[in-house]
Structure 1
Amino acid sequence: MSTSNLDPALAAGNRCTLTGHEARHFGWRVEAGIGHVTLNRPERKNPLTFDSYAELRDLFGRLKHATDVHAVVLNGAGGNFCSGGDVHEIIGPLVQLAAPELLMFTRMTGDLVKNMRACPQPIVAAIDGVCAGAGAILAMSSDLRLGTARSKTAFLFNRVGLAGCDMGACTMLPRIIGQGRASELLYTGRNLGGEEAERWGFFNRLVEPEALAAEAAALAARLVAGPTFANGITKTMLHQEWNMGIDQAIEAEAQAQALCMLTGDFRRAYEAFVAKQTPVFQGN
């Protein structure tokens, strides 16, 4: 997004770049406007820890200010997506904590989901192998999901003595796959195979495991090539309209669309159409 007329002091507090940012507890790189997050503990099927939860929360929080990232790909290393919270580094310590510290933890995990939904960049989850517990939540919280036939997604909180209402699952999952199907997964914690996940609408589509990374990157690149400011508005409205009635939603969309009509990309699309050319969007 152009900042040529932006006061430097305002830009300093509200604009940043994440190219070159070094993540400590997962992989991070920026290429051609795409931020790649790779959960990279393959020997344990990429579980989350207290550290990685907090760092993911903070990174997704910073993304709303990033000028060099216009889409995100979230994946796991070694043929698995994410096995959830690490049994030894999270689950074990949790059973020793009192209520205030437990609430600190659950609010931290919830804030990760909030930040994923609040960042304007569409998030493409590339899901292979195990996608369980908090890993399934990360997939659910993404905007688009590519999977493989061999993937196994499980909201397994019930199987470890917890409620299925974790990190927004009871509100978000029914909106993706329907109330009845979400209820089944949250009450039983059973595995959802890849083909079933696609049939239920959890996955947008299935790809071969060896093509998953390239397909996810290609989908993200297509988003980056689009009107990224308008894409961010679309994501915002998709999220905010969950809490609106139809009249509120129509008015909110009227205001949002009028804002998009002020962008250079809207004019570029018109001028390209008149010239019988393909528009080259610039995100402003």
Structure 2
Amino acid sequence: MPDPGVPTTLRLEEHDEGVVVLTLDRPDRSNAMTVTMFEELEQTSRVLDRREGLRVVVLTGAGKAFCAGYDLADAERLPELGALGMLDLQEHAARALAAVRGLRVPVIAAVNGAAAGGGLSLALAADIRIGSSRARFKASFVTIGLSAGDLGTSWLLPRLIGPAAASEFVYTGRTMEAREAERNGLLNRVVDADELLPAAFELAGQIRRNSPGGVQLSKRALHANMEIGSYAAALELENRGQALLTRTADMAEALEAFRTGRDPVFGGS
């Protein structure tokens, strides 16, 4: 019997100080999602969010795929569920992806292969996406009788690639290859397969060199201002964040480093 405290569908590894790699670890099933994976994604994200010194999370998949979406072997039981049972399962999955997106630190998705259905949704939940040349995306919902209004896809996708491109992509259920995804803004950039994790780690290192509080409140502001439609409300949020950060030791350290011509050493306080 596996230890309930140890994930069975995920793998956590420390890459560098403050940088953690979260790997979906069901390579024999193309890292397809199950109820257990949803539980473990939510729980692991909550634990990571409380980890002192965490600076960046790199999210990727084991083997050749990023995530093939909901495991169709598990999906066979879905028609047996009543409306409330299905709603409970859907909300369970949504909480898991919301927990990933809600991590206080940046999440970099290193998309190593296919990201379909819920796997696409998970990639969208990251702050930044770097793709291998083997990465490909498929909004497969409509091909199995479901809606692209799933796990945040209908909200995040149009904001990344625009409403018209999102509509064409989800209504056809077609596959979007890596280079098209880069052109459309779904991927920040595409690299060779063997350069994917090194590129993600290099980016994580660039982020890690900056003020932890500054990065975290920047993420909070970017997320919050996607939720509101008022310039005045955005300014109010930004003003509070900047006022808070000027009270930190890291801000004083940055000013002193600038004055003396050296690189700052941030402590996260």
Tell me the TM-score normalized by structure 2. Answer: 0.94
Match of 2:233 among 248, 256, 260: 248
Count of residue correspondences: 263
1:104-253 superposed matches below 5 A:
104-244=88-228, 245-253=230-238
Instruction: For 2:65, give the aligned amino acid.
Output: N
Distance in 1 of aligned mates of 2:220 and 2:244: 13
Distance in 1 of aligned mates of 2:53 and 2:84: 38
Match of 1:27 among 11, 17, 20: 11
Cα deviation, residue 241, structure 1? 0.9
Flag structure 1 segments of 5+ consecutive residues without an equivalent: 1-20
Alignment of 1:62 onto 2:47: yes
- RMSD value over aligned CA atoms? 1.3
- Equivalent position SS for 2:224: helix
Instruction: For 2:219, give the aligned amino acid.
Output: K
Cα deviation, residue 114, structure 1? 1.8
Q: Which moved more, 1:64-73 or 1:162-171?
A: 64-73
**Dislocated runs of 4+, deviation >4 Å:** none
Flag structure 2 segments of 5+ consecutive residues without an equivalent: none
**8 Å Cα contact 1:146-1:207 kept in structure 2:** yes
Distance in 2 of aligned mates of 1:243 and 1:216: 27
Cα deviation, residue 253, structure 1? 0.5
Cα deviation, residue 102, structure 1? 0.6
Match of 2:31 among 32, 43, 46: 46
Distance in 2 of aligned mates of 1:33 and 1:129: 26
Instruction: For 2:90, give the aligned amino acid.
Output: T
- Equivalent position SS for 2:142: helix
- CA deviation string 1:15-52 (max 9, x = no partner): xxxxxx84222111233211211112212211111101
How much identity, in percent, do the aligned residues show? 33
Distance in 2 of aligned mates of 1:271 and 1:42: 49
Distance in 1 of aligned mates of 2:227 and 2:25: 35
- CA deviation string 1:146-168 (max 9, x = no partner): 00222111111111101110011
- Equivalent position SS for 1:187: helix
